[in-house]
Amino acid sequence: MYPSWKKYAAEFIGTLVLVLIGCGSAATAGGELGYLGIAFAFGLSIVAMAYVIGPISGCHINPAVSLAMLIRRKMSGKEFIGYVIAQTAGAVAGSVLLYAIIHSTGLPVTGLGQNGFGEGYGIGITAGMAFIVEIVLTFIFIYVILGVTSDSANSHVAGLVIGLSLVLVHILGIGLTGTSVNPARSFGPAILLGGEALAELWVFIVAPLIGAVMAAIVYRLLNVGKDA
């Protein structure tokens, strides 16, 4: 059992890496990589971190994942708060580093891989549809996580499965909302950019949390015989 500070440090590092690599790929090479390349940048970040910090903290690096684990009684309320603070700080740190990299070129920093919706973003879906999309995509992502982590026999492949499931939801979601499914991932870029990104942030905080709650409830109802 690792002490709490090590778990929080691991969550900070993991979320920093996710934001730097995932959002950084979208912001600096999105046109060259395309949706699939960006999706794999996010997913492979999870895979890499899962095998290095997973044994320490479980590699949540996402408040929605931590909320689902709290509901499933896999962590305490105090630990949940510590995780969310560490994840949010890591996301901000990753965004600051990405901002500094882009700013060093002398170009204006207009994008940090932020989430969004409406005219001029992706295919231009409405706020209401963006809210629904984020609930659904988060539900899928969290439900996979709960399933693959429920059996210790899956420990060797869990990181790969979770990373690929993040790729999966990104393939659809990038053209719609940029794919959040992670309030911390959305918070970091939005807080630095401000403006429209910050005004729309509420969708990418509230909707993923709702999706996580729904996934935890459905998992409990459908898998109660396997994992009471």
- pLDDT tens digit at each of 228 positions of the chain: 899 999 999 999 999 999 999 999 999 998 899 999 999 999 999 999 999 999 999 999 999 999 999 999 999 999 999 999 999 999 999 999 999 999 999 989 999 999 999 999 999 999 999 999 999 999 999 999 999 998 888 888 999 999 999 999 999 999 999 999 999 999 999 999 999 999 999 999 999 999 999 999 999 999 866 544
CB neighbours of 42 closer than 8 A, spacing ≥ 6? 18, 21, 22, 25, 166, 167, 170, 179
pLDDT score of 31: 87
* DSSP 8-state assignment for residue 152: G
Q: Hunting for tokens 């995932």 — which residue is that?
A: 22
Tell the CATH topology of 4-222.
Answer: Glycerol uptake facilitator protein (1.20.1080)
Question: Alpha carbon of 8 to those of 20, 55, 74, 76, 130: distances in Å?
Answer: 18, 13, 16, 14, 31
Per-residue model confidence (pLDDT) at position 228: 44
Rounded-to-integer distance, Cα 63 and Cα 88, Å: 8
pLDDT of residue 227: 47
Evaluated on CA atoms 206, 33, 18, 47, the torsion sign reads positive
Q: What are phi and psi of 156, to 5 degrees?
A: -75, -20
Q: Does residue 210 come out as left (phi exceeding 0), alpha (psi in the -120 to 50 range) or beta?
A: alpha
Q: Residue 154 has what pLDDT? A: 83
CA distance 94 to 15: 8
Q: Which of 51, 53, 112, 39 is nearest to 83 (CA)?
A: 53
pLDDT attached to residue 155: 82
pTM confidence score: 0.95
